[in-house]
Structure 1
Amino acid sequence: MPSIDPEVDAAYTARAIISPKQYASVTARYRDESAAAVAGLRGTAGVAYDEAGGELLDVWGTGDRPRPVFVFVHGGYWRALSRHDSAFMARALDAYGIATVVPDYTLAPTATLEEIVRQVRAAVAWVYREGAAYGLDPGHIVVGGSSAGGHLAAMTMVDGWQADLGLPDDVVVGGFPVSGLFDIRPLLHTHVNDWLRLDEPRAAALSPFLLASATDRRCPAVVAAADHEPTGFHEQSRIFHSLWKGDDAPLVVPDRNHFDVILDLGDPDTSLSRALRGLFPAS
């Protein structure tokens, strides 16, 4: 296994930017605000989306006609959190006629990163094939995520995987990675590789920044980060935004950190919420 480089490790240690008390508080908000957001909301919980992995997803905010859908992939450095922590935006999106799908995936190190990517892509395939029966519009799927979830969302934005699942190349019509990781190779020299257990060729094959270089299609996307991020996350957002969009700079949300920025999706008046809604047809 590659050795840890203390400077690189510091650049990717998100927990170092807040205290343990703050971290416990914000992760509790994920669960509490998700529960509040879906209370009484129309939807279906606990749907099996992938026979091979056995994982489940929840559908929230459905209506009387098929709705465009936001698939939100949780973070947790691929080894923590779940769909139950991930629906805090569902009520805010429901008010604009947008449904929310939150999938679980098998956490590392129980699953390899290749398997986690496969499962998230399988969740997208489920929305495309089965979503209409649950009130979803398979023609308008936007995939987003936070931190490790931003990496997984980006792995659905690139080309090269859709045909194997019998999907059209444009199955994902919009991307919304927040505080994401797009070049996995630096993580070989961090503590994160204790559970990813990657080598250089595997890390390269799992890096959406490298895969996007060979991607002809560029779906509309918002690449965002918090004002207070470890330096590695800022750099990753900058390089991926530059490659994918080729203009301006990533959306940087002021007065937010790596962990609480994504909770802004629960407030329809925040810049992050408005940016997400911009990837959907006007309601």
Structure 2
Amino acid sequence: MKLDDAYANAAYIPQAAQYPPRWSEAAAAFREAMGARADLGVSYGPSARQAYDLFYAEGPAHGTMVFVHGGYWLKFGRSMWSHFAKGALARNWNVAMVEYDLCPDVTIAQITRQVALAVTSLAARLDGPMTLSGHSAGGHLVARMLAPGMLSPDVAARIQKVAPISPVADLRPLLETSMNADFKMDLASAAAESPVLQPPPDTPLCIWVGAQERPVFLLQAAALAAAWSVPQVIVPSKHHFDVIDALCDPESDIVRYLTP
């Protein structure tokens, strides 16, 4: 399809195939080390993938950071990303890693509503403020949480900051990729799921994207920043797979932003 190459990340990242197994190995070691401070596989909906892993801060928590994984709504799950909770945990924030059903078993619109259900479940389970972050498709999903009516007013009021990382903010170009065979979107459904077409939110938000990402991801981030009049951070020397590494560092700009 016309835009398949434009949205191909792995083909332009050296040793791209090594990243998923490396993530999985680091995540498994992290969960084992967390021991009783990890509550794994907490269900928030009827299907097996509607679950999150919750990691508790060592001391009294200042709040909860929610992370939503990427994978073009087609792959991956919560168990691959556990170690990216390190930065926020070190700053005494709880961290939840949210999983959801995948296309083509469900639509992107259904995934969006699953993530809203997960955030609502976490709000009922834990006290205090919440922040949201997500990578790639996960960046799209956390941005969608800011749409009017997506979350109940009491839950929305607890969201203090949102940091989409390399988000897909306009889904209409994906109609011209072969992935749409699984997404099954038409122009109307792609527009309905596009954060760039949502009203600008009141919730503080900053967008992160790697300087070495595919041009379309830089354009997607810039389009959302412009549509919502919010700042973006273009991280030098980072591509689509390593731009999330900063979540492991409690002193990184993004972790400090998400865990004030």
TM-score by length of 2: 0.91
Deviations 1:100-158 (A, max 9, x none): 10011011111111111111111100111122xxxxx3x31111111111111111123
Matched, 1:232 2:191: no
Which residue number in structure 1 is paired with residue 83 of structure 2?
Answer: 88
Which residue number in structure 1 is paired with residue 248 of structure 2?
Answer: 266
| Corresponding residue to 1:61 among 53, 56, 62 | 56
TM-aligned CA deviation for residue 232 of structure 1: 1.0
* Aligned-residue CA RMSD (Å): 2.0
| C-alpha distance in 2 between matches for 1:160 and 1:235 | 27
Higher deviation after alignment, 30-39 or 122-131: 30-39
Which residue number in structure 1 is paired with residue 175 of structure 2?
Answer: 188
| C-alpha distance in 1 between matches for 2:96 and 2:229 | 26
Matched, 1:153 2:142: yes
Letter in 2 for 1:178: I
Task: Call closer, same or farther: CA 1:66–1:92 in 2, change over 3 Å.
Answer: closer
Which residue number in structure 2 is paired with residue 223 of structure 1?
Answer: 207
Which residue number in structure 2 is paired with residue 15 of structure 1?
Answer: 10
3-state secondary structure, aligned to 2:22: helix
5 Å matches for 1:130-141? 130-131=125-126, 137=127, 139-141=128-130
Which residue number in structure 1 is paired with residue 254 of structure 2?
Answer: 275
3-state secondary structure, aligned to 1:194: helix
| Corresponding residue to 2:225 among 219, 238, 241 | 241
Matched, 1:143 2:132: yes
Asked if structure 2 preserves the Cα contact closer than 8 Å seen for 1:61 and 1:90, the reply is no
Asked if structure 1 preserves the Cα contact closer than 8 Å seen for 2:160 and 2:204, the reply is yes
| C-alpha distance in 1 between matches for 2:124 and 2:47 | 16
- The unaligned stretches of length 5 or more in structure 1 are 132-136
TM-aligned CA deviation for residue 12 of structure 1: 1.6
Deviations 1:171-196 (A, max 9, x none): 42211111110110011011221211
Which residue number in structure 1 is paired with residue 38 of structure 2?
Answer: 43
| Corresponding residue to 1:177 among 139, 150, 164 | 164
| C-alpha distance in 2 between matches for 1:58 and 1:46 | 5
3-state secondary structure, aligned to 1:239: helix
| Corresponding residue to 1:27 among 11, 15, 20 | 20
Q: List 4+ stretches of structure 1 deviating above 4 A.
A: none
Higher deviation after alignment, 52-61 or 78-87: 52-61
TM-aligned CA deviation for residue 67 of structure 1: 3.6
Letter in 2 for 1:219: T
Alignment length (residue pairs): 258
5 Å matches for 1:65-80? 65-80=60-75
3-state secondary structure, aligned to 1:177: strand
- The unaligned stretches of length 5 or more in structure 2 are none
| Corresponding residue to 1:257 among 234, 239, 260 | 239
3-state secondary structure, aligned to 1:10: coil
TM-aligned CA deviation for residue 62 of structure 1: 3.0
3-state secondary structure, aligned to 2:16: helix
How high is the sequence identity, in percent, across the aligned residues? 32
TM-score by length of 1: 0.84
Task: Call closer, same or farther: CA 1:110–1:47 in 2, change over 3 Å.
Answer: same
3-state secondary structure, aligned to 2:258: coil
| C-alpha distance in 2 between matches for 1:26 and 1:140 | 32
Which residue number in structure 1 is paired with residue 97 of structure 2?
Answer: 102
3-state secondary structure, aligned to 1:228: coil
| Corresponding residue to 1:209 among 190, 196, 215 | 196
Deviations 1:188-244 (A, max 9, x none): 011221211100000011011101xx24x4211220111211111100101111222
